[in-house]
Amino acid sequence: MSRFVNRKSILSVMVAFTLVVAFAGGLVLRGSGTHAVRASGGQTTKSVFCSKLGKTIQASSGAQMYCFGAQASGASTHIRQATKSFGPNVNAADPNEDVSPTGVRAYGQSETSVAASGRYAVEAWNDATAFFSTCGAPQNKDQATGYGFSANSGASYTDLGGLPNANCNNTSYGGDPSVETLTSGGKTYFYVSSLFNCNSFAGCSADARSHIAMSACVASGQGSSAALTCSQPIIIASSSECSTAFGLPPICSFLDKDFLSIDTKHGLLYASFTEFGFTPDLSASTNLIELAVCDIGNGALGGTAAAPVCTNGSSGTALAPAAPYLVVANTDPAGCENEGAYPAVAATGDVYVAYEHNWASALFGGCFPGPQSPVQNVMNYIPASCLTLPTASCSGPAATNTVNITSMQGAFIPGYNRFPMNDFPRLAVSNARTTVSMVWNDARYNIGGDILMQSMNLVTLGNTSAAPVVLNSDRGGWHFLPGLRNTNQNGQLNVSWYSRSSANTAITDVTAALDVNARSTATPHNILVTTVSSDWNSVSSDIVPNFGDYTDNYTTNTASNTPGSRNFVAWSDGRLGVPQPFCSVAFS
């Protein structure tokens, strides 16, 4: 939790305006799938973290849901037709599922992630239905991470509600999903991770730690007999910092913004995330970028594809928390916030983790040396030799490269109810091009932002081009929140993002650049993904941010060039008057 900005600054005023909390008769509506609960004056993990959110730190949509619950937004929608140029746009959710057991309709599904293998695909999202549902709700509606399953290559999805969680009276999934997939032993597995924390009404007395957890799912059958069977929560990582200062109950750090990547060759699953914490005496904040690992068939920890075993978080208690598996970036000495970590794995088993440095803290010179501290996207290389089990054999990255960016975090994007905006890097390794590439939105050339790509050589992390490459072919309007995960079978990148044709409109589409050579310096051809645009100024949502703070895509490959790769693009779409998790597929 970095030192950021004076509470009397205009930023705090705007954040307080954006993050509307519903008060009624002394009650505060909270997230994490709970009832409205009475605000407590006691110090808890939740109260300490949430009291700083939007003031001295910024965090994810899942963190917003955890702290503030349902939040107000707009009303109906206005749409215009766009040229169809990708594939059919499919709603992965069913609006009929977005109704609580008491009959309250929820407004908002955003922050999408997708993965696919063969005929199967899974998309996950933050689900506002949890705000109005309690433990035991049908289809696990009380869980804030929803998911849908496709058995026909994304042509249609079945909304499966929330992730399974039999212990929902004590803990619940809190959004920020990431989806990965593995084919092993003739079966297709999907892993859906999310924030995972104690419920407010449970008191958090048994364990005040914050967690990242996942469900391990197996797909089977086809047609009407197809099914996705998902496990109970598997803890990937937990708070490594807890304090009992001043005789208080344990107060623990908060884990945020998880994302997954799989090393299929070595049977390992990695999760990167941010840990917001504090010193034991609560006198200072900490902010770590970390990497956790799970055995999904490696054998070193006894894990299998169906029953992963993770190294940190599954042991320890609130009074003696488990240490992180690997700290990618320690707390910045100047107090600059690091956030938005994403991982990618090379064929060698080497892992790359990128994140944004000085996000949010750069506003108004909140970290020192203040305005002189540049906003950067940071790439880190962690060799496979370091990633031993059960503990890592090194203490951090072997190489690091930074790219100074012109951040969009000060932008109030029309129709987008989140401030500040982010410039988090998304990344993918191209083994064929021996590169790791990161993409992000950047305002150096265009006030409304461009999608930039910087590729680096594997291992050394030397830049392959003198300047980042612009990926969007139109140079006006808005371009933001790109998605990038992996490559097609020829080592080419597929990148997608939100786009607007004019800086003076909230009419929003999704655009993609397919088959991008990571070493190219030319702007590629762009393809429109959306078949219908949505006006973000006219969409109702209970979630902040209403359209999430990331989109996603995932590329599946075949054994030969025929029929080729499929690229799945996932985003939150407002064409129905409420954000819904859409998906579209293209051959590349």
DSSP string, 385-411: GG--SSS-SSSS-SEEEEEE----TT-
pLDDT at 81: 32
Directed axis angle between helix 45-52 and helix 61-68, to 10°? 120
Instruction: Assess contact for 549 and 51: CB atoms under 8 A.
Output: no
Question: What residue type is 395 in one-letter code?
Answer: S
Cβ of 476: how many Cβ atoms within 10 Å? 14
Straight-line distance from the first to the last Cα atom of the chain, in angstroms, rounded to the nearest whole number: 42
Pick from 335, 180, 389: which is nearest to 272 by CA?
A: 180
Three-state SS for 9-54 is CHHHHHHHHHCCCCEECCEECCCCCCCCEECCCCCCHHHHHHHHEC
Instruction: Assess contact for 37 and 44: CB atoms under 8 A.
Output: no
**How many whole angstroms from its chain centre is CA 303?**
25
CATH code of the domain containing 426:
2.120.10.10
Whether 2 is in a domain gets the answer no
- Hey, what are 399's tokens? 């190489």
Compute the distance between CA of residue 2 and CA of residue 4 in angstroms, rounded to an integer: 6
Compute the distance between CA of residue 35 and CA of residue 29 in angstroms, rounded to an integer: 7
pLDDT at 36: 33
Compute the distance between CA of residue 165 and CA of residue 204 in angstroms, rounded to an integer: 17
Phi, psi (degrees; rounded to nearest 5) at 79? -125, 155
pLDDT at 4: 30
**Alpha-helical segments (H) within 244-343:** none
Q: Which residue has the tokens 């803990």?
A: 171
Give Cβ neighbours of residue 391 (< 8 Å, ≥ 6 apart). 311, 325
Whether 5 is in a domain gets the answer no
Pick from 73, 134, 57, 123: which is nearest to 94 by CA?
A: 123
pLDDT at 516: 96
Compute the distance between CA of residue 198 and CA of residue 252 in angstroms, rounded to an integer: 12
Cβ of 166: how many Cβ atoms within 10 Å? 10
pLDDT at 215: 98
pLDDT at 69: 67
Pairing of strands 90-91, 109-117: unpaired
Counting Cβ atoms within 10 Å, is residue 454 exposed (0-12), middle (13-18) or buried (19+)?
buried
Whether 57 is in a domain gets the answer yes
Compute the distance between CA of residue 544 and CA of residue 40 in angstroms, rounded to an integer: 23
pLDDT at 564: 65
Average pLDDT per run of 10 along the chain, which is 588 residues long? 33 33 30 35 60 65 67 39 64 96 96 96 97 95 97 96 94 96 96 91 71 97 95 95 83 94 97 93 89 96 96 71 92 93 98 96 76 89 96 95 97 94 97 97 97 98 97 95 94 96 95 96 96 96 95 81 76 97 89
pLDDT at 373: 85
Counting Cβ atoms within 10 Å, is residue 457 exposed (0-12), middle (13-18) or buried (19+)?
middle
Counting Cβ atoms within 10 Å, is residue 158 exposed (0-12), middle (13-18) or buried (19+)?
middle
Whether 328 is in a domain gets the answer yes
Compute the distance between CA of residue 310 and CA of residue 265 in angstroms, rounded to an integer: 17
Three-state SS for 541-566 is CCCCCCCCCCCEEEEECCCCCCCCCE
Instruction: Assess contact for 267 and 299: CB atoms under 8 A.
Output: yes
251: which strand partners? 243
Question: By residue range, what is the domain housing residue 578?
Answer: 10-587
Whether 132 is in a domain gets the answer yes
Helix (H, G, I), strand (E, B) or coil at 299: coil
Phi, psi (degrees; rounded to nearest 5) at 426? -110, 150
Domain count, the chain: 1
Whether 3 is in a domain gets the answer no
Pick from 64, 319, 34: which is nearest to 176 by CA?
A: 64
Whether 253 is in a domain gets the answer yes
Give Cβ neighbours of residue 530 (< 8 Å, ≥ 6 apart). 82, 86, 89, 509, 510, 573, 582, 584
Helix (H, G, I), strand (E, B) or coil at 469: strand
pLDDT at 327: 96
Whether 59 is in a domain gets the answer yes
pLDDT at 124: 98
